[in-house]
């Protein structure tokens, strides 16, 4: 689905030198390289604080801990998401309350959030799914009206710009009280291993986030709260710092590839191409089609036989996962979510795709769909 090898070879000289510098310094955990990357990413993101951590899942968990969410509290989340978004809530004995997504953007539906609020609700967790921004303007208004926290799951949306109706623009992940992201290798800003980061503009929250990510430590060997051990290592930070300087060009390449696919699939009654919401630029972490009247597994196999990878993100929604039986997961009625899980299919989209490869992919998808 991605070509991280070709991408690496284009920046190999820079990356190899940076990794060697870390090896020579022998500062593998923390230190200047990690701090420097965090500062550069905070600047790019226009967030006051960036706290690096071990992965995007930890970022979400640490965010919920720093906000003081307690067992029995409720968080409102989409069910149509990667499991990490909701799994960490359950891990902390916080109840995930699953709501519908918008059938066009595939992101959490603000009207559904309002209906799900109870006296126990403490936070909303929008997910910028596939790189498309959730309706942050409406979400922030609901949160303010009901005194709720907003934790943005920006694992798939890093680099996206969201525009408010008053004309201001902010990066997704810098709008809520806390933003979380992942540097999983296939992400738009991908490490060569695991990594994640947490963003906030609130000084007190930043201090808590830092403390929790470091064993609840306020200074070395003084542990004020229960925390965890979640660190981005220096080699990954050195690589990410280089890739950060290319992030906008990587996003532009993904958008260009998406535009090319859009043209190739235009006017096909069985295929709906990704919706482009005017309030954000969609950074195309995934390029996902909605199929109507097509044997999806048949298409996936047909493409695989032609050497074309395709993936289904996600075949089972969170509320349908066995792990949530104890939270009454199977009692939910989320027809839009279930409808999407049966119809989506993602095609390769990355920085190294060329038009010849895309023509081949488009031709094969159309051959199967139109037969």
Ligand X SMILES: Cc1ncc(COP(=O)(O)O)c(C=O)c1O
191 binds ligand X (CB under 6 A): no
| Three-state DSSP string of 83-139 | CHHHHHHHHCCCEEEEECECCCCCCECHHHHHHHCCCCEEEECCECHHHCCCCHHHH
Out of 184, 260, 261, 287, name the contact with ligand X by CB under 6 A: 184
Locate 78 and state its tokens. Answer: 């989409």
CB of 156 to ligand X, least distance (A): 5
Out of 156, 160, 280, 286, name the contact with ligand X by CB under 6 A: 156
Q: Do 256 and 357 contact (CB within 8 A), yes or no?
A: no
| Tokens 């199977």, located at residue | 330
Locate 108 and state its tokens. Answer: 């959490």
> Using CA atoms, how far apart are residues 100 and 26, in angstroms rounded to an integer?
48
CB of 22 to ligand X, least distance (A): 21
Stretch of residues binding ligand X (CB under 6 A), selected from 52-60, 251-259, 338-346, 357-365: 52-60
Cβ-based nearer residue to ligand X, 81 or 364 = 81
Closest CA to 211 of 203, 200, 223: 223
CB of 35 to ligand X, least distance (A): 21
Binding mask 116-135 for ligand X (x = CB under 6 A): -----------x--------
The number of helices, as runs of H, and strands, as runs of E, in the chain is 13, 14
CB of 180 to ligand X, least distance (A): 7
φ, ψ (nearest 5 deg) of residue 203? -60, -45
Binding mask 192-221 for ligand X (x = CB under 6 A): --x-x-------------------------
232 binds ligand X (CB under 6 A): no
81 binds ligand X (CB under 6 A): yes
Cβ-based nearer residue to ligand X, 349 or 369 = 349
233 binds ligand X (CB under 6 A): no
84 binds ligand X (CB under 6 A): yes
> Using CA atoms, how far apart are residues 49 and 346, in angstroms rounded to an integer?
33
Out of 37, 82, 250, 287, name the contact with ligand X by CB under 6 A: 82
CB of 194 to ligand X, least distance (A): 6
174 binds ligand X (CB under 6 A): no
> Using CA atoms, how far apart are residues 61 and 8, in angstroms rounded to an integer?
30
CB of 59 to ligand X, least distance (A): 7
Cβ-based nearer residue to ligand X, 47 or 156 = 156
Cβ-based nearer residue to ligand X, 152 or 241 = 152
Cβ-based nearer residue to ligand X, 194 or 233 = 194
Q: Do 198 and 63 contact (CB within 8 A), yes or no?
A: yes
> Using CA atoms, how far apart are residues 321 and 89, in angstroms rounded to an integer?
14
Locate 332 and state its tokens. Answer: 């939910």
Residue 195 to residues 17, 25, 286, Cα–Cα distance (Å): 20, 21, 19
Angle at 92 between CA 91 and CA 93, to 5 degrees: 90
Site size with ligand X, rule: CB under 6 A: 15
Cβ-based nearer residue to ligand X, 110 or 195 = 195
47 binds ligand X (CB under 6 A): no
Residue 143 to residues 109, 121, 241, 346, Cα–Cα distance (Å): 14, 10, 33, 32
85 binds ligand X (CB under 6 A): yes
153 binds ligand X (CB under 6 A): yes
Angle of helix 296-305 relative to helix 355-369, nearest 10 degrees, comes to 140
Stretch of residues binding ligand X (CB under 6 A), selected from 9-17, 62-70, 81-89, 291-299: 81-89
Residues that bind ligand X (CB under 6 A): 55-57, 81-82, 84-85, 127, 153, 155-156, 182, 184, 194, 196
């Amino acid at each position: 689905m991605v070509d991280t090898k070709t991408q690496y070879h284009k920046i190999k000289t820079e990356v190899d030198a940076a990794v060697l510098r870390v090896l020579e310094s022998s500062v593998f955990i923390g230190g200047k390289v990690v701090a420097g990357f965090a500062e550069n990413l905070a600047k790019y993101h226009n967030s006051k604080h960036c706290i690096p951590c071990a992965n995007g899942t930890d970022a979400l968990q640490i965010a919920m801990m720093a906000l003081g969410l307690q067992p029995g509290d409720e968080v409102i989340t989409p069910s149509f998401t990667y499991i990490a978004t909701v799994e960490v809530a359950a891990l902390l004995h916080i109840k995930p309350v699953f709501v519908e997504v918008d059938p066009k953007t595939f992101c959490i539906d603000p009207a559904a959030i309002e209906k799900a609020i109870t006296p126990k609700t403490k936070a909303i967790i929008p997910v910028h799914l596939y790189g498309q921004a959730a309706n942050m303007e409406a979400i922030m208004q609901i949160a303010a009206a009901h005194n709720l926290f907003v934790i943005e799951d920006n694992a798939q949306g890093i680099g996206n710009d969201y525009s408010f109706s008053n004309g201001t623009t902010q990066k997704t992940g810098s709008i809520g009280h806390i933003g979380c992201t992942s540097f999983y290798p296939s992400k738009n800003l991908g490490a060569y291993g695991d990594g994640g980061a947490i963003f906030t503009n609130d000084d007190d929250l930043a201090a808590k986030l830092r403390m929790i990510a470091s064993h609840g430590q306020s200074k070395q060997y003084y542990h004020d709260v229960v925390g965890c051990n979640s660190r981005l290592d220096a080699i990954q930070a050195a690589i990410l710092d280089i890739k950060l300087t290319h992030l906008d060009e990587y996003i532009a390449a993904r958008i260009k590839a998406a535009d090319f696919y859009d043209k190739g699939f235009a006017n096909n009654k069985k295929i709906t191409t990704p919706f482009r919401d005017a309030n954000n630029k969609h950074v195309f972490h995934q390029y996902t089609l909605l199929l109507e009247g097509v044997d999806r597994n048949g298409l996936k196999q047909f493409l695989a036989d032609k050497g074309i990878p395709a993936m289904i993100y996600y075949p089972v929604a969170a509320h349908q996962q066995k792990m949530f039986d104890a939270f009454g997961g199977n009692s939910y009625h989320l027809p839009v979510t279930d409808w999407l899980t049966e119809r989506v299919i993602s095609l390769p989209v990355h920085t190294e795709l060329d038009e010849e490869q895309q023509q081949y992919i488009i031709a094969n998808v159309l051959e199967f769909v139109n037969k």
